[in-house]
Amino acid sequence: MKDSALIVAMVCGAVLAAWLLVWHFKRARSLLDRWAKENGYEIVERSYRHLLKGPFFWTSSRGQAVYHVTVRDTQGSTRSGWLRCGGWWAGMFSDKTEVRWESDR
C-alpha cells in the first residue's frame, strides 16, 4: 500500500512539474508577444536564453524568462536587444517586461 501511494505521489509530482514548465514557456512567449504589439514591433527573431542572459545575467531570478530578440518597427528599421519577462519575486505571475537594446550599451 505504501509503495502504490509513493508511486501515485511521484507521478502527480512529475505531471505538475511538466505542466508548470509548459506554462512558464507559454506565459513568457505571451508576455513577449504582448510587449512587441504594445510597442509597435514585429518580432523578426527570438531566442530563449537559459544561461547566456546578456545584461540580465546577474539580475534575473529563476522564475523570469530572458530572450534575445530582433524586432522591426513600423518604418522597417530593425534593432536587437534583450527582453526579460516576469518579476523577480512573482516570476511569470507578473506582467512585467524589461528591454535592454544592444545599441544603448
Residue 2 reports pLDDT greater than 80? no
What is the reported pTM?
0.86
- Which structural domain range is residue 69 located in? 2-104
CB neighbours of residue 104 within 10 Å: 9
Residue with cell 536564453: 49
Query: Could you report the per-residue pLDDT of 56-90, keeping only the tens digit for each?
Result: 999 999 999 999 999 999 999 999 999 999 999 99
Which pLDDT value is given to residue 1?
A: 57
Residue 8 reports pLDDT greater than 80? yes
Which pLDDT value is given to residue 3?
A: 81
Query: Could you report the per-residue pLDDT of 17-40, keeping only the tens digit for each?
Result: 999 999 999 999 999 999 999 999
Distances (CA, A) of 45 to 33, 41, 55, 70: 12, 11, 18, 5
